[in-house]
Structure 1
Amino acid sequence: MKRIFISSGFSMLVLFASAQKATDTLSSATLQACVQYALKHYPLVQQALLDEQITERQVKSKLADWYPQINLNANYQNNFQLQSIAFNGQVIKSGVYNTSTVGFALSQNLFTRDVLLAARTKNDVMTNIRQTTVSDKIDVTVNVSKAFYDVLLTEKQIDVLNDDIVRLERNLKDTYNQYRGGLVDKTDYKRATISLNNSKAQKKTNEETLKAKYAVLKQLMGYTAPDSLHLVYDSAQMEAEVYIDTLALPDYSKRIEYQQLMTQKRLEQANVKYNKWAYIPTVTAGAGYNFNYLNNRFSPLYKQDYPNSYAGLQVSFPIFQGTKRTQNIRIAELQLTRIDWDVTNLQTAISTQYAESLATYKSELNNYHIQKDNLELARDVFNTIELQYRSGVKAYLDLITAETDLLTAQTNYSNALYLVLSSKLDVEKALGTITY
């Protein structure tokens, strides 16, 4: 039986570890999968979720003051010298040498502005902290998406250079054979070698850059698994996703920053009321039951008790505080007015942000269409000149120029595609339509 329990426990640990590993790795690193992974593993998001739990506990802690408070108090006191009092012309000692009290105290808040404020603002406080989490998630979504596109851009550039290297190696072989056959001089052969070396050097640079960009993406995702990320994407789908409604207008209420300001405004309004409640007395009900022990000797001190009990109502009202309450009310009102100006400033900033992001998007979209057309033209030109060069109609210099133009067109098209996708994210963020 001991062996069975040990083997079963070990198997459960292995299964648990395997499940954890499966959870912490991505088998299909699509854009959506990377974003969802980041929302679950990125430290700032996890901290924001913990802040929600902390705030919820703090609210419950404040509201706990509405419940009755029961305390147990105990003390012991030894009097080295008894107090002397004058009675009927004589001075006598009063009290006993050993005293002790064990008492239970009950208090119940009937009105206190601190607890009342907590009760009335608990929903807004939780809404405020949740909105902070939403803001963090939106930032993570945008940052991970841009990093994802950045990695794809570099990978696409490497693929373009791989194709270019294949073409250049073929051209180098052809020019070398032509040179050995005496058809051309060594200039064409050297030019082909230079172009090939440049493409290989650029490829090596991009490969090293790709490692750094993968590191950035992993950091933004909170990806700590030892397995490498392998991004999965559909080029046709990405090309179809470059478009957005450019006639849409920003709706301030959709922006999380605006929602946060509205929540803060409600909290500040509650703070104004809180300061006005300072003119209302604090009322507390209380009761207690005490066991008193009195004896000149310590050993029989707790053999006899003298109980007493009480119940009462306590009202506390500060009559004059040097206009402190008035000043606090005025401060709260000014802070509330200040939030109104924050709202005005945010609306202006959102309008400006949308105008800038939309202008950038339109520019990048136009550039994307141009580079797409240029790519088709460069490919046709290269294919034509390559055939003409092999037929002996065109010089090798023309082929190199066409090859360079094709490489430039491919690179520019890739840059344009990912730039327009990134600028689209900025427009969606300005509109408040980012989803995660």
Structure 2
Amino acid sequence: MNKLIAAMVLSATFISVSYSQSVRTLTLYDAINLAKRNNSDYVIAKLDKMKADKQVSEVYSENLVPSFTLSSRYARSFRKQTINIFGQNFEIGSDNSITTTLDVSEPIPFLGTPVFNGIRIAEYYSRIQEENVKSVESKIKTDVKKAFFNVLLLKEVIRLNEQSIENAAENLRVVEARYKAGVALEYDYIRAKVVLENQKPVLSQSVNNLSIAKKLLKNSIGLKDESELDVVGDLIFDSTEVWGTTEELIKKNF
């Protein structure tokens, strides 16, 4: 008997260790960051924003930043010029000469010129891409948060259902003892058994719902592997996520 119990304990320990090794536990922060990395729309939006910012920089550098041109010229004189002063010849110049020039040009655009129009268009396109990034990011956060908190909620529901079954089982044990002692009615005993049996399908349904919720969370994050997923966190309601901050509410209503 002792050997059987020991074998059951070892088996349960092995299963528990194997399960813990295959479970991937995420916080809300982890889930959102994973979803961003795995979401192709978000990655494309970020790349488009980088391209737009680069285009703005190019427009500024091509039209408003001064340009510098450095050039050099080398010359070798095979015959120097001579001048005669008071009957004596003097050579002018050198055998080798290098001339270096630096040209600096600064465009001076005027309002309404194509330069400023190009800058405005580039900056407008950059702002559009920035709003697109924010929009995609906001949708990712909303979807992940809904799925994440749904898993947290169902875990709490399962905990409450398990507690209800424990309470119903304890109540049945007490009522059964009282019934056998002749101080409780058979009706009370049967009712206690029915209450316990009715709790079992509720728990089973909660477990199934949790399994579905975890799959939906994996889908919203973009995880394709077959590993088990779990979450950690608190079911805390943040009103600012729904209604906004006090300053934002004032701006909207006044």
Q: TM-score range by the shorter chain?
A: 0.5 to 0.7
Q: Does 1:35 align with 2:32?
A: yes
Amino acid at match of 1:189: Y
Q: Name the CA shift for 1:425/1:125 in 2 (closer, same or farther; >3 Å).
A: same
Change (3 A) 1:114 1:214: farther
8 A Cα contact 2:59 2:122, kept in partner: no
Q: 2:30 is matched by which residue type in structure 1?
A: A
Deviations 1:350-397 (A, max 9, x none): xxxxxxxxxxxxxxxxxxxxxxxxxxxxxxxxxxxxxxxxxxxxxxxx
- Matched AA of 1:155: K
What is the rounded CA distance, in whole Å, between the counterparts of 1:151 and 1:115 in structure 2? 54
| 1:44 matches 2:27 | no
Shift of 1:166: 0.8
1:427 pairs, out of 230, 243, 247, with 243
Once the two structures are aligned, what percentage of the paired residues are identical? 22
Structure 2 gap segments, 5+ residues each? 1-21, 64-112, 250-254
Q: CA deviation at 1:50?
A: 3.8
* Cα offset, 1:56, TM superposition: 6.2
Whether the 8 Å contact between 2:144 and 2:220 is mirrored in structure 1 is: yes
Q: How far apart are residue 211 of structure 1 and its match? A: 1.8
Map 1:350-429 onto structure 2 (within 5 A).
421=237, 423-428=239-244
Question: 1: distance between equivalents of 2:42 and 2:56?
Answer: 21
How has the CA–CA distance of structure 1 residues 220 and 233 changed in structure 2, closer, same or farther, with 3 Å as cutoff?
Answer: same
Taking the aligned partners of 1:214 and 1:429, their CA distance within structure 2 comes to 31
Q: What is the distance in 2 between the residues matched to 1:184 and 1:124?
A: 81
Give the Cα–Cα distance (whole angstroms) in 1 for the partners of residues 246 and 140 of structure 2: 15
Contact 2:28/2:145 (CA < 8 Å) preserved in 1?
yes
Kindly provide the amino acid, as one letter, of the partner of residue 426 in structure 1: V
**Alpha-carbon distance in 1 for matches of 2:23, 2:114:** 49
The 8 Å contact of residues 165 and 196 in structure 2, kept in 1 or not, is answered as yes
Amino acid at match of 2:193: T
Superposition deviation, residue 38 in structure 1: 1.7
How much has 1:125 moved relative to structure 2?
A: 1.0
Structure of higher RCO (CA pairs closer than 8 Å, 6+ residues apart): 2
Q: What amino acid is aligned across from residue 180 of structure 2 in structure 1?
A: R
- TM-score, structure 1 as length reference: 0.35
Provide the rounded CA distance (Å) in 1 between the counterparts of 2:201 and 2:141.
34
Gaps of 5+ in 1: 1-24, 67-112, 236-419
**1:82-121 correspondence runs (5 A):** 117-121=117-121
Deviation for aligned residue 1:120: 3.6
Residue aligning to 2:143: 143
Give the secondary structure class of the aligned counterpart of 1:223.
Answer: coil
SS at match of 1:229: strand
- The answer to whether the 8 Å contact 2:56/2:123 transfers is no
Distance 1:126 1:142, change over 3 A: same
Summarize deviations over 1:403-436 as a string: whole Å, max 9, x none. Answer: xxxxxxxxxxxxxxxxx71655212389769xxx
Deviation at 1:234, TM superposition (A): 4.9
Q: 1:122 maps to what in 2?
A: 122
Matches within 5 A, 1:295-306: none
SS of equivalent to 1:421: coil
Q: Counterparts of 1:156 and 1:203 in 2: how far apart (Å)?
A: 11
Which residue pairs with 2:212 in the alignment?
A: 212
- Residue 72 of structure 2 corresponds to which residue in structure 1? none
1:190 aligned residue: 190
Match of 1:158 in 2: 158
> Structure 1 27/209 Cα, relative in aligned 2: closer, same or farther at 3 Å?
closer
Looking at structure 2, the residues matched to 212 and 429 of structure 1 have their Cα atoms a distance apart, in angstroms, of 34
- Cα-Cα RMSD: 3.5
1:430 and 1:224 map into 2 onto residues whose CA distance is 40
Contact in 2 for aligned 1:142/1:425 (Cα 8 Å): no
